[in-house]
Amino acid sequence: MIVYERPVRFEDVDAAGIVFFGRFMNYAHEAMEHFFGGVAGGYVDLITRRKIGFPAVHVTCDFRSPLRYGDVVRIAVSVAKIGNTSSTLRYEFTRADNGASVALMEHVTVASDLVSLQKLALPDDVRAHLELHRH
């Protein structure tokens, strides 16, 4: 499990005054980029030099309590499943101040060649890092 924290930004809320539900995907992706910090070169090197990406094929999210401007969200990232080309990340969103549950998201991605968008076996270093944080 790797933990990532970030404040709710001024422009993350919507006309209902709470964080727009789609932003949770942005928050999760930030947490995933942070998670991949454990692979040499990180997510940036995967994308920009190795040309390996992890497009989403499936996402599920339960929203339990709203976030507002001023809140800080803590996202605990763990790995629920590891396949040959796919992996499932699990994001547990809580409020940093009191630990209250905010959301729970699962995110299945498939390792892909960014030029052809064909799927790839998970690279060894990525697989090893995923194994390390398996739920």
Binding stretches for a copy of itself (CB under 8 A): 9-11, 13-18, 20-26, 29-30, 33, 43-45, 47-48, 53, 55-63, 66, 68-70, 114, 117
Shortest distance (Å) from residue 71 CB to a copy of itself: 9
Among the listed residues 73, 75, 72, the one whose alpha carbon sits nearest the alpha carbon of residue 32: 75
Shortest distance (Å) from residue 48 CB to a copy of itself: 5
Shortest distance (Å) from residue 76 CB to a copy of itself: 19
Closest to a copy of itself by CB, 60 or 84: 60
Choose the catalytic residue: 12, 14, 62, 97.
14
Shortest distance (Å) from residue 68 CB to a copy of itself: 8
Indicate the burial class of 75 (C-beta count within 10 angstroms; 0-12, 13-18, 19 or more): buried
Residue 15: phi and psi, rounded to 5, are: -70, -10
Residue 56: phi and psi, rounded to 5, are: -70, 135
The token pair at 128 is 């090893």
Closest to a copy of itself by CB, 9 or 134: 9
Closest to a copy of itself by CB, 45 or 131: 45
Active site (annotated) includes residue 14: yes
Say if CB 112 and CB 55 are below 8 A apart.
yes
Closest to a copy of itself by CB, 13 or 75: 13
Residues 6+ apart with CB under 8 A from 39: 45, 46, 125, 126, 129
Active site residues: 14
